[in-house]
Structure formats: structure tokens, C-alpha cells
Amino acid sequence: MHVRPDNPLIVQGDGKVLLETKHPKYEEVRDFLSRFAELETSPEHLHTYRIHPLTLWNAASSGMSKPEIVDGLRQWSKFDVPPDVLNQVGETIERYGLVKLAQHPDDRKLLRLEFSTAYVAKLVGQVKTVRELLVEDGKRYLAIQAGHRGIFKQRMLAAGWPVEDLAGFIEGDPLRIVPRALMLGNGKPFVVRDYQKKSAERWFQDGRPQGGNGVIVLPCGAGKTIVAIHAMAKVGQKTLILATNGAAVNQWVREILDKTELRADQVGAYTGDEKNIRDVTVATYQILTWRASKDAEFAHLHLFRDQNWGLIVYDEVHLLPAPVFGATAELQGRRRLGLTATLVREDGREGDVFSLVGPKRFDMAWQSLEEQGFIAEAKCYEVRVGWKNGAALTYEKAREGEKFRLAAVNPAKLEVLDTLLKRHVADNVLVIGTYLDQLHEIARRYKAPLITGETPGPQRDVLFQKFRKGEIKLIVVSKVANFSIDLPDANVAVQVSGSFGSRQEEAQRLGRVLRPKANGAHFYSLVTRETKEQEFAMKRQLFLTEQGYRYYIQEGSG
């Protein structure tokens, strides 16, 4: 066994790859790894990547070869690369391209399958879930219905046969989208950052059939909207954008108008309040999945077919609701771009997202952007708060199901909140919570506006506008603020209560303060000491530290 301790990688037998981040060659090795392995955790000093079939097929689809991967691993590894891993790389990569999906020369409703050998065709034919999708195409060929393209690829992938999709995309109606030289809002030059360009280019792949679909993973505040605008400009066709809620839709519309030369009459919002279908339409997931009753049809799914869309953008793609999965599976002929800050889906359906929207095309560790100053340097604090006035006894006597809520709304948190708000009196602060009673009390205590699900959209916009302008320094928000609320100047977030250790929620809430600012960002979580809340906070702590954030634990006092 050869040992080269000066190298930065440890390749484990199960395909896990550990990378030292303080190594002088870190960036080079990171770029190499990110092409065929997935970043799993990125705590300070040691990042963990995972090599698995999907990532290897993605690498193969982007033209990476087995020797390139094997040689690189051998070159950078501290220990001999496990033979199992080398075999896995070889066998997996070699599988890519054995089955190809191509346009049918005669019938546009069909897509023809091309197999590298008859034996491969035979093996594929034996896969039960796939066999039912196959259609005889003359005597020599097999084909599938064009509408089954997504589901076919999904099932093939599950069976270990990655399909090289060369069928290309249906061209949508052309739309000239030109980025502005100067932004409309502030008159400053509109500059697309390198990583934004790079991610859009990796997704687009010069218009080749290999590109044009997939997911880009960037942290909140890294400018995913701009990536999408860049991608839209490259495609140059009518675009449908799906976002999480009305506020996010308004933000998209504002950004597109601010940064492209599209006119207001070319960009429409399709929400519960207004239903404008224009060249670029931004809709919410909710409206798409709305139906009059449980048994009724989804009334707005027609939106996918209403226009000849050339590109569909899925914002916060990890939140893609189940009904949209089905619709997306039928849209495999359209270009698709998924944007997200976190790969985590609490229901574990990440694989479905990637197989339907497309593989991950670009990923960047949060702290890499932080180091380059593109997002704020964030410090996370867990402030542990004790009980007061005999509340501990109430907690101990409470039923198990009640305990978490009691700990979350611990009144002693308010005293700690006083201290924090005094400390950040000059900052723009978001107080985020889950329990409305608690939030109402906080809003009353500090005479601050409260935004909940019941706050009408226009009112929210007004409040956000005031917050941006600095007229309001403190906003209290409920769970509605978890996603897509663009508050550029918020640099302090105080989480007074959260869900049961939701990692996704934690990441999104932290994301609210990640846009770059001079004094960095502070993210406080108030947690009642030695309670269930602290147990759940431990999970969140693990998640954030795995993401590479500096996490401090403090004892809170009023």
C-alpha cells in the first residue's frame, strides 16, 4: 500500500472521497472532483464527495472518460485507490451511451432507440418496467412514444442503463432576450459573474442535445435569477418560470425587467391574483396544482401547453410538488432548467427531480462563494435559553407531543431577543418563527410589522420595499419567508422557533441573509436549553456545519 500523505484526497472503498480544503491544490482537485462526484458535506477543512452511477453518467455525458477519472484519482489520492472504486468507475462509465435515444426519421410521435449491440437490446428488453414502454419500430428497431421520454429515461436509470438522449428539444417560439448593459433600477452596469456564466454554459452546452436540461445548485444570494436570465438569453425562446409563491413571482418579474430589455408587456405573472400569459410567464407551483376539489382535474396545468415554450425554469426545484412531476415527465421535449440552493428534499425524492428535470450541471460550495465575497460571510449562533418562572415544570409535565411547541415559544426567549436586537440596533433584522402567537407577541413588543401567510401580496411588497429602503429595520416573518423573499439588506436573522429540525428550512432561512454585505451576516437560532428543541437543533447544527458554516453555541441571558 503506497501512502502519499501530501496529497489532498482519501478515496474510501465505498466510493466516498474526502478532500482537504486547506491543501494548496484544493481548487484544482475540487474542480476535477465536481465533474464526476457529488458534494455531500462540506464542513470546514474536509469535504466529502460521493461517486455514484448518476454522477459518473453525468460525467460521461459531459465527455469525461474513464482514464481521466482514474488517473486523476490516482494522482491526488493519499492511499492507493480502492480497486472496487476503479472497477465501478470503469463499468459505470462504459455503460453510458450503450443505449441512445434519437429522433425518429419518419414519425415525430416516436423516438427511436439505438443499442450498441444486440445483446444490450436483449438485456434492456428484459427489464420489466421498461419493456412496457417499448414499441416495435419495423423489424429492426425499437422505439418509445415521444411522451414517454421522461419516464423511459427514469426507469432505464433505475435499472442501471443510462440513456444518452440525442433526440434534441422541441424548439419553442423565438424570443429575443437581450441583457441590459445598465440595470434599470439603479443604473449600474449589469455584470454576470464568472460562475454564473459558467453554470449557464454548462447547462446549455452550446445547444447540443446533451445540454439544455438539468439543475444548477447555488446558495441563496449567489444570483440564481441571473443564471436563469443568462440561460434564457442563450436559448432565446419563450420561457415559462415556476416559482414558489406570489412574492417570488413578483421578484422574478422585477428582476427580468430590471436586467433584460424585455418590455413589461412581454413579461407576465400567472398567480392567484392575476393570470397573464405572455412571452415570459412566471407562475407559482400553487396555481399549477390548484384544483376545485380533491377529485377534480388540476385546472391550470394547461399552462404548460398554452404556449410553445422553449424553456421551462423551475425555481427552488427541490420543492417541485408531486403533480408537477407528472407534467414535467411529459415535457421532456422542452428545455428545462432547475435552480436550487439545497439538494435536500425531506421526502428523499431528489433522484426523481434529477431524472425529470435533468442532472446536476453545476454545483458550488457555499463557502467558496463566501471566500470570493459573492455571498456574505455568515456566522451561525445557537443561543441556548433557560426557563423562567417555573415554566420548566410545565414543560416537564406536558405531553410529549406538546413539548416541542412549549420549548419553541418559551417566553424567556424574548429577553434574549431584546439583547440581540440591542446588539444589532443598526442592522436590518428579520425575526423568523413558526408559531403565530409568538410572532404576534414579538411584533407587538417591538412594534414591528408581521408578515404571515395571511398578509396580502401587495401589503407584503410594500413592507419589503420599505425594508429595502431602510425605513423599517425589523420585520417579523412566519414560514412564508422561507423561500424567495429578496431582502437585499437583511444582515441579521433571528430564528425564534423552527420546524422539527428541518434542514431545508434552516438552509433557506439562513439564505435570507446571505447576500453580500460589508459586515457579514449573523444568523441566530434561539433554542430552549435541555429540551426537545435542543435535540432538534442538534440536527440543524449538523446540517449547517456540514455545509461549512461557522457555528457557535452561546448561553443566552436576558
Partner 1 sequence: MSTENQEAPVDGEGGGRRRRRRRRRRGGGGAAENTTEVVTTSEVESEEPGARGRRQRRVFRDEFDAQGAALPASGKMVVKPKTHRQKFKPSAGLARRRRMSRGEIDELAAYFMKMPETLVHALYRALGGQPVRIGEQERVVQLTVRALAQGNRLGGLLFQMQPRDRQALAVLIQCGGLAPAEEFHKELVLMLGGRENDWARTMQVLGDRGLVSASAPVEDGFFYLVPEPLIDPLLEHLGAELELATFQHEDIKVVDQRPFCPALDFSLATLATYMDQHPPKLTQRQEVFKAQKEELDKFFAQVWAPESEVFQLHYDFLMMHGMIELRGDRLSVNREVVEEWLTLEPEDQRDLVFRALEKRMSLAEWVLWAVNSAKGEWVPEAPLVALYRRWRRGEDWRERYHKGLYHSPRGGDREGYTFSALVNCGMLELGVWGQQKVYRLSPRSTALLDPPEDEGFSKFYLTPNYEIIAPAGLAPVLLFRLGEIAELMGCDRANTYKITEISIEQALKKGWRREELLEFLREYSQIGLPQNVETTLRAWMGGDGDVEFHELTAITVHRAHIRRFESMRGLRAYVLHRFAPGVYAVDRRRLPEITLALMEAGFNPGKEIRRYPADEESAQNRERLHHLLAEARELREDPLARAQRADTLPEDLHPVPGGAIAQAQKRKEGPKGPPRAGPQDVRGLIEKAIKGQLGIEMTYHSLKDDSRRQLLVLPERIALNREGAAVLVALDLESGTRLTYAIAQIERARTTDKRIGAGA
Question: Using CB under 8 A as the criterion, which residues of the chain lie in contact with partner 1 when the complex forms?
Answer: 1, 3, 5-6, 10-14, 18, 41, 43-46, 78-79, 82-84, 382, 538, 541-542, 545-546, 550-553
The distance of closest approach from Cβ of residue 545 to partner 1 in the complex, given in angstroms and rounded to an integer, is 4
The distance of closest approach from Cβ of residue 13 to partner 1 in the complex, given in angstroms and rounded to an integer, is 4
Nearest CB to partner 1, comparing residues 330 and 382: 382
- CA pair distance 531, 293, nearest whole angstrom: 41
Angle (CA) 214-219-220 rounded to 5° is 110
Nearest CB to partner 1, comparing residues 45 and 291: 45
Listed in sequence order, the residues at least 6 apart from 17 whose beta carbon sits closer than 8 Å to its beta carbon are: 9, 10, 11, 33, 37, 48, 49, 50, 51, 73
The distance of closest approach from Cβ of residue 4 to partner 1 in the complex, given in angstroms and rounded to an integer, is 8
Residue 397 backbone zone (phi > 0: left; psi -120 to 50: alpha; other: beta): alpha
At 207, is the secondary structure helix, strand, or coil? helix
Q: Do residues 231 and 203 make contact, with C-beta atoms less than 8 angstroms apart?
A: yes
The distance of closest approach from Cβ of residue 380 to partner 1 in the complex, given in angstroms and rounded to an integer, is 9
The distance of closest approach from Cβ of residue 19 to partner 1 in the complex, given in angstroms and rounded to an integer, is 11
Nearest CB to partner 1, comparing residues 18 and 277: 18
Closest to 259 in 3D by CA, of 188, 314, 337, 197: 188
- CA pair distance 167, 428, nearest whole angstrom: 50
Q: Do residues 253 and 259 make contact, with C-beta atoms less than 8 angstroms apart?
A: no
Nearest CB to partner 1, comparing residues 455 and 545: 545
Q: How many CA atoms lie within 13 A of 551 on its CB side?
A: 19
At 385, is the secondary structure helix, strand, or coil? strand
Nearest CB to partner 1, comparing residues 17 and 226: 17
Nearest CB to partner 1, comparing residues 9 and 485: 9
Helix (H) or strand (E) holding 325: helix 322-329
C-alpha cell recorded at residue 439: 410572532
The distance of closest approach from Cβ of residue 6 to partner 1 in the complex, given in angstroms and rounded to an integer, is 7
Count of CB atoms situated within 10 Å of the CB of 485: 23
Taking only Cα atoms into account, the Rg of the chain, rounded to an integer number of angstroms, comes to: 25
Nearest CB to partner 1, comparing residues 489 and 546: 546
Nearest CB to partner 1, comparing residues 45 and 131: 45
Listed in sequence order, the residues at least 6 apart from 89 whose beta carbon sits closer than 8 Å to its beta carbon are: 36, 51, 56, 66, 69, 70, 73
Amino acid at 307: Q
Percentage helix, strand, coil for the chain under 3-state DSSP, each rounded to 5: 40, 20, 40
Provide DSSP, 54-106: HHHHHHHHTT--HHHHHHHHHHHBSBPPPHHHHHHHHHHHHHTTSEEEEE-SS
The distance of closest approach from Cβ of residue 338 to partner 1 in the complex, given in angstroms and rounded to an integer, is 27
Nearest CB to partner 1, comparing residues 20 and 114: 20
Residue recorded with cell 451511451: 97
The distance of closest approach from Cβ of residue 319 to partner 1 in the complex, given in angstroms and rounded to an integer, is 25
The distance of closest approach from Cβ of residue 74 to partner 1 in the complex, given in angstroms and rounded to an integer, is 14
Nearest CB to partner 1, comparing residues 20 and 107: 20
The distance of closest approach from Cβ of residue 60 to partner 1 in the complex, given in angstroms and rounded to an integer, is 24
Nearest CB to partner 1, comparing residues 19 and 451: 19
Angle between helices 26-33 and 66-76 (to 10 degrees): 150
The distance of closest approach from Cβ of residue 44 to partner 1 in the complex, given in angstroms and rounded to an integer, is 6
Nearest CB to partner 1, comparing residues 18 and 102: 18
The distance of closest approach from Cβ of residue 383 to partner 1 in the complex, given in angstroms and rounded to an integer, is 11
